[in-house]
Structure 1
Amino acid sequence: MAEMELLDSARHATLRVSAAPDAGRHFVQLVADEFLAAALHYPILLARHPETGDLYPGALMGLVPDENLCLGRDGTLVGYRPADLERQGFYVSGENIAIDAHHPALAAIDGAPVFDTDGGPAPALRRVQAALRRLHVGLPETERFLRRLEEHKLVEPIDLNFQFDNGESLRLDSLYTVSLDALHALSDDVALALFRSGDLQLIYALTGSIRHIPTLARRRNERLSGLDR
C-alpha cells in the first residue's frame, strides 16, 4: 500500500518525476474533457470497474497488460499524454498535493525536476497540478456523461479479435463502445438534447477513435516479428 507524504519544496527539493512508467500502461483512464485530444491518437473504449461495475473510459495504448504500443523511439508518448499519466505518483490531499515517494515515476533519477532552484514549481509540477485539477473536475462530469449513455441504452460490447503473423491469437473482452445504430435511432428530441449538452461531440470523438485499433494491431505485429519501429 502506498505511503503518502505531503509535497514540500524543502523536503523534496531534489525530487524528479519520470515518464518511464508509461511503458507499462496499456489502458489509461480518461475524463470526458480529454476525449477530443486523445481521440487523435488512441482508441477510446469503455471498461467496467471490477469492484463497482461502473463504466469508465480509457485510452487503449496496448493490447496486453504492461504493453504500450504508442511510445516513440525515446520511450515517450508521441501523442497526447493523458492526465492520469501526468499525475502518476501525485495525489490530492485536501488543499494540498501528496506523493507516494516510492512510486516508479518518482523513484527514477533521470526524470524532470519537480521544483525550480528557488523552490517554485518547475514545469513538470505545473503539468501535474493541471492534471490533478482536470481529474478533480472531470471525473464527476464523466460519470454523469456515462450515466446518460446508459440511460439511452447507447453502450454496447465491442468485439476485438486479432491474429498475428507469428500465429498468436488475441481476444480482448469486457470492453465497450457507443452503438451508432442505437444513437441514430434516438428520437429527435433526445438527439437535440445530446447535441446541446455537448454529449454528441464526445460520442463521435469516442466512436471515431476506434480507427486507431488497426494501428495498434500493426504495431504489435511488428513487435512480435522483430520489426518494431
Structure 2
Amino acid sequence: MTQAISLLDHTKHGHLKIGAQDLSHLHDQHIVPVTLHEFPRVAVEFPIVFVKNTETGEFQAVAMLGLKPGQNLYVNDGRWSGLYQPHVVRDYPLGLILNPEVEDKVWIGIRDTSPIVNQSEGQALFNGDKETEFLVARKEALISHFQQDQVTKHLLAKLAELELLESQTLTVEIKGEKRNINGLYLISEAKLTELSDEQFIELRRLGLIGPIYSHLTSLNQIQRLAQTEASL
C-alpha cells in the first residue's frame, strides 16, 4: 500500500466515487498488519506472527499471506480468495493521516490515484458538501480500526516487556525443498509457562490470554500456505 494518500476534502474530492474492490496493489505483499481484536478470525485462515521495527523497537502483529517476500497467495487478479479480510485490506483506498505533532487527532485520507477511485462508477463520497452515508460508515470503521490499533500497540509492548516475543526461524517444506523463514517473532510457550501467577493474572486482566492462544493456534496455518504454494 505505497500509493500516496491525501487529506480527504469535499472541495477537491467531492466528485469522486469508490468502485468495486480491486486489490491488485497487494499482489506482491506477503504480510499485512492485524490488530489483536482480529486474531480469533484471522487465526482460522492465516498464520499470525510478529515483526519488529528495528528503528523504534516496536512490535507489530501481521497475518502471513505468503511464505516469501513478493508472494501473496490470497490475491488473484485483484480479487481476495480468503474468507476473512483484515481491516487494513477492507479500508482501502481510504486511510488515516496522522500528525505526530498533534496527539489524539487523526484525519481521513484517500489514495486518489487508486484505479478504483473514479468519477463515474461506485459509491459517492459526497452529496454536495455533505458526506454520504457510505462515507460516514467508512469513516466510523476507520476510526474504530485506529483505536484497535492503538490498543494493540500498547498490549504488544506489554508482551515485549515480559520478554514473551522471541525471534524464531520457521522451516517449511514445499515440494520436497526446505525453506527457512527468518525475521519473525513468535510468543514463546516456554517463557509463557515460566510467568509468575501475578504476571499471568495481569495478562488475563488485559485481555491478552485469548489473543496469545489464537496466535499459537494460527501457526498451524503455515502448512496451509505451504500446500497452497505447492499446488500452484
Deviations 1:123-178 (A, max 9, x none): xx56643441233212221111111111211111232123322x655321110110
Please state whether the residue corresponding to 1:132 is helix, strand or coil: helix
Quick one: which of 178, 189, 200 aligns to 1:180?
189
Q: Please identify, of 90-99 and 212-221, the stretch whose mean Cα deviation from structure 2 is larger.
A: 90-99
Report the secondary structure of 2:80's partner residue. coil
Q: TM-score, normalised by structure 1?
A: 0.80
Deviation of 1:59 (Å): 0.5
> Which of 8, 11, 18 is the aligned partner of 1:6?
8
TM-score (norm 2): 0.79
1:60 alignment counterpart:
64
CA distance in 2, matches of 1:104, 1:186: 50
The correspondence of residues 1-229 of structure 1 with structure 2, limited to 5 A, is 2=4, 4-8=6-10, 11-16=14-19, 18-20=21-23, 21-71=25-75, 75-93=79-97, 96-103=107-114, 106=117, 112-115=122-125, 120-122=132-134, 125=135, 128-165=138-175, 169-223=178-232
1:114–1:121 Cα contact (<8 Å) kept: no
Q: Structure 2: which 5+ residue stretches go unaligned?
A: 98-104
Aligned equivalents of 1:174 and 1:27: distance in 2? 12
> Is contact 2:22-2:78 (8 Å) kept?
no
Q: Is the 8 A contact 1:61 1:67 kept in 2?
A: yes
Cα root mean square deviation, aligned? 3.1
Distance 2:17 2:123 in 1: 7
| CA 216–126 in structure 1, closer or farther in 2 if over 3 Å, else same | farther
Displacement of 1:69 in angstroms is: 1.6
Pair 1:8–1:33, CA change in 2 (3 A): same
* 28-37 vs 88-97, which moves further: 88-97
Aligned length: 219
Letter in 2 for 1:99: I
Q: Would the aligned equivalents of 2:5 and 2:95 in 1 still touch at CA under 8 Å?
A: no
Unpaired runs of 5+ in structure 1? Answer: 224-229
Percent of aligned pairs with the same amino acid = 24
Contact 2:31–2:62 under 8 Å retained in 1: yes
